[in-house]
Structure 1
Amino acid sequence: MKQNVYYDFTKEFFTINGCLIEEKNAKHMKVLLTRQMDESLMNRPFYWHYMKKMNREGDPMSLSFKDISIGEEEEGIYLHAGTPKLQQIYQTALEKGYITRLYESINHPTHNLAMHPWLILNMKITFRGKQSKDKILSIGLNLINGAITHNMMELLEHIKLIQKISDYTFPMTPMIKLESAYNRIIQHVETYLTTLDTDWAEQSIQQFNYEKQLLQKFFHSDDIGEEQYQKELDQLAIRYKPRVTIKIANGGLFYLSVHTSQNLLT
């Protein structure tokens, strides 16, 4: 991985969030933070509390960043995988992008068009056992008719989405409440997981039983005490017993035209 990907990401992050960026060259930038970004990144809660109390605008701070290849030529925070400030920026980006509301862009409709609401959840399924792996799912549920579709983000890749509803279109009122839709998606994913191959789980259990038998032999030969035996057994369970976890990465409410909604289901 080229080091400048961290620089490029940081530049794009601050541009999207409305910060003023001054670049001396392609590897060094000075960022004038917005008030929101200052509150998120600069750890000055008492200052901003005072500004709000006094009904004053306040003065956001500036930050300078540089690619790690630039050395000591310029002042600034080195941008590499272990930069604490970069990790903080990542976390802020995740928090700001956790929930969204977007609308399909409709150009020059000839009459008022109804927009179907969809709840879309992107999630990571983690399989842990003898071997570990992750699976990404993007599930959408139509809040009008209850239809569920996989690979939603891929299906929406070539559809222009905007933050404001287009002229002469209107969002339909959901027939399914968000809480119910969320639970339906989770139940759907749990059912889907039961259809997947379980060889990994069976191999994990076999390995756990094998390691447990070895541990019992050590215990019965008085090589380890009962307390130590239990600790080792607990560690084996953590390492080998199969388990599956579902973690929501992000999600949102997407309003799509009836035509697009129908195409997603075919």
Structure 2
Amino acid sequence: MYPQQVHSYLRQFFIENDCRILGEDHHYLTVQLTVDIDKRIMNRPFYWQYVEATNSEANPAQVTFITNQTVSPGSLYGEVIHFGSPRMNQLFLATRELGAYVQLFEKVDNAIGQVILTPWLGVNFKVSYCCDRTKEMLYSFGINLLTGIIKEDFHETICESEFDTVPADNAFHVQCIIKPVRALERLNATIEKIIERDDHSWATEAKKRWQRDQRVLDYFYEEEEDKPECYDIEKKALEEQYDTKIKIEIINGGLFYLY
């Protein structure tokens, strides 16, 4: 996930959750959080317990998120955020909790007359390659529920558009030909093909590190015929540390009716 994608994701997240953007450039966002978003992402449980216990005035945080540190001037003070950072993971979690699924209709100008909105299923995936080191990747796909055409970087495509929860008076939305469940199966298959084509030398390297550490462990206990319980515990810990796994998670998604 590139810095501009992180920036776009943050901007959309805060706008959708009624957080005012106080300042912005291509490498940072300054945001006034709401009480709800502060509670979800700022790790201040004791502060909020005090506010609620004493009935004090709430003071949600104002935060500057630096989305591209390489071009950020040294005088800019804020929190560096990137894909894989703890704060970014908190935002993903908040997104899942607040809106795992949406149905939105693109806003259209009444002056252009009657228009037809086409249904798309949009899904944001997170793929994680897990071992003793973790690599995470974000994919956004949309599938046209009339034609089956799949579009990459779907989130980037729609983030410039404006949406509403109900269609405009001059908009007619077409019913789906492809059921969303079937469309999701196609998107899952697309993600799996991407994973199949990817370089998986990371798994081979993890296995080599596992074997190396296992040899070291065996060396320390080689003179003991009956291995003690601590040997089994350490061996199990190595397995859990180096065992390779691929996780596919849906962050969020929804039906988008586009002009």
Aligned-residue Cα RMSD (Å) equals 3.5
User: Is 2:123 the partner of 1:121?
Assistant: yes
Residue pairs, 1:111-260, within 5 angstroms: 111-222=113-224, 225-257=227-259
Judge conservation of contact 1:30–1:65 (CA < 8 Å) in 2.
Answer: no
Amino acid at match of 2:256: F
Amino acid at match of 2:144: N
**How far off its partner does 1:212 sit?**
1.7
The structure number with the bigger radius of gyration is 1
Judge conservation of contact 1:104–1:162 (CA < 8 Å) in 2.
Answer: yes
Judge conservation of contact 2:34–2:60 (CA < 8 Å) in 1.
Answer: no
**Structure 1 residues 99, 208: closer, same or farther in 2, change over 3 A?**
same
Match of 1:230, SS state, is: helix
1:35-87 residue CA offsets vs partner (Å, 9 max, x unmatched): xxxxxxxxxxxxxxxxxxxxxxxxxxx77322689xxxxxxxxxxxxxxxxxx
**How far off its partner does 1:204 sit?**
0.8
**How far off its partner does 1:252 sit?**
0.8
**How far off its partner does 1:16 sit?**
3.8
**Aligned equivalents of 2:115, 2:17: Cα separation in 1:** 33
Which consecutive residues of structure 2, in runs of 5 or more, have no partner in the other structure? 1-10, 20-32, 37-54, 63-89
Structure 1 range deviating more: 216-225 or 187-196: 216-225
Which consecutive residues of structure 1, in runs of 5 or more, have no partner in the other structure? 1-8, 18-28, 34-61, 70-87, 258-266
**How far off its partner does 1:110 sit?**
4.1
**Structure 1 residues 183, 189: closer, same or farther in 2, change over 3 A?**
same
TM-score (norm 1): 0.61
**Structure 1 residues 192, 66: closer, same or farther in 2, change over 3 A?**
same
1:238-257 residue CA offsets vs partner (Å, 9 max, x unmatched): 21122110111111110112
Identical amino acids, percent of aligned pairs: 24
Judge conservation of contact 1:30–1:63 (CA < 8 Å) in 2.
Answer: no
Match of 1:103, SS state, is: strand
TM-score (norm 2): 0.62
**How far off its partner does 1:223 sit?**
9.3
Structure 1 range deviating more: 91-100 or 175-184: 91-100
Amino acid at match of 1:218: F
Match of 2:147, SS state, is: coil
Equivalent residue, structure 2, for 1:260: none
**Structure 1 residues 142, 212: closer, same or farther in 2, change over 3 A?**
same
